[in-house]
Amino acid sequence: MDLHGPLGLERKGEGRRKRYLRLSTLSSGFAAIVLAGLSVWTTLSPLHLRHDPPVSLTAAQAEPGPIAEAPTDAPPASENAGIRTSGPQDGANIRHTTTSDGNVVTTFSPTGRKGPVIIGANTTQDPRLAGQPNEDLIEQTAEGDLPIISSSGLRPFDFYARPWSGARGTRIAIVIGGIGLSQTGSQKAIRDLPEDITLAFAATGNSLQRWMQDARRKGHEIVLQVPMEPFDYPSNDPGRGTLLAEERAAGNLANLHKAMAEITNYTGIMNYMGARFLADDKAMDPVMRDIGNRGLMFLDDGSTARSLSGDFAKAIGFPHAYADVVIDGQVDRPAILAKLDELERIARRNGQAIGVGAAFDETIAAVAEWRNEAVARGIEFVGVSALANENRP
């Protein structure tokens, strides 16, 4: 209605406008009916709209990431194509596969490791890189590169450990020390001893980096021998940088760090002598805490019954191992073989045993021969870290 026009009359064109409104209303109604019909048809049709399942974030069922783009001239796939390493996981295999239509598919998978993988460990070092340190496990200091736990929690104790089968049969670890003190002895030990024998490097030795790389590439697990004060010091001197019972904590830690910086890639610290130092709780405390905080084990050579190393390992919470037999207290082949037989009896009784010795010609020859015979009798030889008590807090 036009409020400005005469009552009861319509303006010119008003009739056409009303007809247009009726047609619009009819069109809207028709469109609504068509839409409703389309919705019903879509619901009842067997070819209903696609619905993707929700993405699962469960680690065990996680889908692989997007396929990496590859250049059109990518080389054909091969068994060892594209291997590279990354971070504390130490490696991934990257395999490029060319499909029949010319596309290149890139697949990522963990590196294959030589031999069995130690039960319970997250990762160990790829044998191809065994002579090189993991940069995530190194702290750069004024004393040199020191071992440290990585930001992800990976310890040198775990990463540099020698893999073993995980079987619960009779196990033996033999540690041959003094590597680096004699060129011929070091060379002979690395060359002649089976790779499952652990080697202990003397921090006071020479050319340690060279020997370390040779030993690791051969497959040996290694530990570092740190000189510690014996009861008859200084007439019996373990060498430069000896940790002393009466030394201040700062001085002993400085000497410990200098020794640690001599090489890398070791799973733990082993005492060289040290009967007096290992019996002094005040001197031991800062040293043991530093070893534990760096993700290392402590291997006690068992030469003194007064050692407190095991007590500290339990109290602080870090891996610890204790030798059962010194195999070459008498450097004589028959005597060494007798001690090795004793070591086997202990292992069969307790399930495991640790023997320690030095890189004398007689020791190396006796161990190499006896080890092969013991393997034939069902003994498994493991890196010493496999027999350490964890002592987790």
**pLDDT at residue 157 in the model:** 98
Q: DSSP H helical segments within 229-280, as ranges? A: 249-260, 275-278
Domain that holds residue 205: 127-387
pLDDT for residue 124: 80
Tell me the mean pLDDT per 10 residues along the chain, length 393: 43 47 51 53 44 36 39 39 36 46 45 38 75 96 96 97 94 98 97 98 97 97 98 97 98 98 98 98 98 98 96 97 98 98 98 98 98 98 97 79
Instruction: Name the burial class of residue 151, with classes exposed (0-12), middle (13-18) and buried (19+) by CB atoms within 10 angstroms of its CB.
Output: exposed
Asked whether 164 and 383 are in contact (CB, 8 A), the reply is yes
Q: Is residue 48 part of a domain?
A: no
93 and 134, same domain (yes or no): no
At which of 54, 84, 110 does a domain end?
110
Q: For helices 208-218 and 183-192, give the axis angle rounded to 10 degrees.
A: 10
Closest CA to 255 of 270, 266, 239, 279: 239
Let me know if residue 29 belongs to a domain. Answer: no
161: in domain: yes
* pLDDT, position 392: 79
CATH of residue 338 = 3.20.20.370
User: Are residues 84 and 165 part of one domain?
Assistant: no
- Which of 54, 76, 110 is the C-terminal boundary of a domain? 110
169 and 216 together in one domain: yes
Question: Residue 33: its pLDDT value, please?
Answer: 59
Does 51 reside within a domain?
Answer: no
| Same domain, residue pair 137 and 193 | yes
Q: Which residues fall within 8 angstroms of residue 344, CB to CB, at 6 or more apart?
A: 170, 172, 353, 374, 377, 379
The answer to the question of residue 40 being in a domain is no
pTM listed for this prediction:
0.70
Same domain as 95, residue 143: no
Q: What pLDDT is stored for residue 112 in this prediction?
A: 41
Same domain, yes or no: 257 and 313 = yes
Q: Does 57 map to a domain?
A: no
Task: Show the tokens assigned to 191.
Answer: 């060359």
Note whether 199 and 72 are same-domain residues. no
| Same domain membership, residue 223 and residue 99 | no
In a domain, 266, yes or no: yes
pLDDT at 31: 54
Both 76 and 150 in a single domain? no
Same domain, 105 and 137: no
Q: How many domains does the chain have?
A: 2
* 223 and 88 in a common domain: no
pLDDT at 37 (0 to 100): 55
Same-domain pairing of 158 and 88: no
Phi, psi of 68 (to 5 degrees): -70, 140
Q: Of 79, 110, 141, which residue constitutes the final position of a domain?
A: 110
What pLDDT does 52 receive? 38
Instruction: Name 295's Cβ contacts closer than 8 Å, sequence gap at least 6.
Output: 137, 147, 148, 149, 154, 155, 156, 157, 158
Query: Does residue 14 fall inside a structural domain?
Result: no
